[in-house]
Amino acid sequence: MSEPTIDSVRHILVVGAGAMGRQIAMSAALVGYTATVQDISPDMLEAASTELAGWTAGRVAKGKLDAAASRTSLGRLAFTTDLETAAAAADFVIEAATERLDVKTGIFDTLGRSAPAHAVLATNSSTLGSSKVAAVSGRPDRVCNMHFFNPALVMKCVEVVRHAGTSRATIETTLELARRLGKEPVLINREIPGFIANRLMGAIQREALALAEAGIASIADIDTTARSALGHPMGPFQLMDMVGLDVIDFIAQATHAETGDPADAPHATVAGLVAAGKMGRKTGAGFYAY
């Protein structure tokens, strides 16, 4: 079986047409890769196509993207519900489906049977290590995490996580692909729940919540301190509201399920807001009202 190399990567398959998947595909198309977005929902694929056309039109209107480049980039994108056929033409696959292990296992089983031998099979999961789907692919050495951040068209960091059986060639190819997409990849040498960013973010959020609940300072003043003293672009409560409190709670649940550490348990305040339908900016209320 030939080792993967960056020079063999010409066609990228993104599995999942949600906000993350569609933006990853657009990032690839903008720098010259042909990219296919696969999803089981035709409606989701149509929404992805429409949104990306609107995004590029907006960039052209603002003078940030040439009109010809916009048309060329959109022309590099394809949309399909047929995973097997799409996988057969892919040199690199980025799975960005829902964060459910049973769903991802089914996808990687199909990818392992359908994708060319040289293809890298990466998961964009922020909570599930690729070791959980590596074996079912039949090519565990070609499997890793390639975790983008939302919004993927803007955020520069990509966490590349190897599991114990990931080959060096797979890691080198994945890191270089991230760079060619205009990203700044970081390598995580072994799986750990939450990787780097979510662990750092979680620690700051836990301390911020503890300070607020103890009456040490108001939520607004804690956020101000993070911005004006630490140079953060937004405070921890603002960030949680932007990400979505349901997402924050889900990450905590997934991390706690992996570690069993009480320190990683979901926070009651966040869970309470989610139960009340207050999930941050997207619902108009969270720690702040919008």
Give the tens place of pLDDT for each residue, 203-224.
Answer: 999 999 999 999 999 999 999 9
126 is annotated as an active-site residue? yes
* DSSP for residue 130: T
pLDDT at 255 over 90: no
DSSP 151-173: STTT--EEEEE--TT--HHHHHH
* DSSP for residue 2: P
* DSSP for residue 191: -
**Once rounded to an integer, what is the mean pLDDT over residues 184-194?**
95
State how far the Cα of 280 lies from the Cα of 290, in Å rounded to an integer. Answer: 8
State how far the Cα of 236 lies from the Cα of 251, in Å rounded to an integer. Answer: 15
Note the pLDDT of residue 13. Answer: 98
Alpha carbon of residue 16 to chain centroid: 11
Amino acid found at 198:
N
Note the pLDDT of residue 1. Answer: 64
What residue ranges do the domains of the chain occupy?
A: 6-188, 197-279
The residue annotated as part of the active site, out of 147, 167, 191, 267, is: 147
Give the tens place of pLDDT for each residue, 44-71.
Answer: 999 999 999 999 999 999 999 999 999 9
198 is annotated as an active-site residue? yes
**Once rounded to an integer, what is the mean pLDDT over residues 155-180?**
98
Note the pLDDT of residue 237. Answer: 98
pLDDT at 268 over 90: yes
- pTM reported for the whole predicted model: 0.91
pLDDT at 171 over 90: yes
Q: Which CATH number fits domain 6-188: 3.10.20.30, 3.60.20.30, 3.40.50.720, 3.30.2320.80?
A: 3.40.50.720
Gyration radius (Cα) of the chain, Å: 20
Alpha carbon of residue 17 to chain centroid: 12
Decide if 220 contacts 206 (C-beta within 8 A): no
Note the pLDDT of residue 258. Answer: 84
The residue annotated as part of the active site, out of 27, 124, 126, 137, is: 126
CATH topology match: 6-188 vs 197-279: no
124 is annotated as an active-site residue? no
Nearby residues of 219 by Cβ (< 8 Å), 6 or more positions away: 212, 237, 287, 288
The residue annotated as part of the active site, out of 11, 27, 131, 159, is: 159
Give the tens place of pLDDT for each residue, 94-151.
Answer: 999 998 999 999 999 999 999 999 999 999 998 899 999 999 999 999 999 999 998 9
Decide if 114 contacts 88 (C-beta within 8 A): yes
CATH annotation of 197-279: 1.10.1040.10
99 is annotated as an active-site residue? no
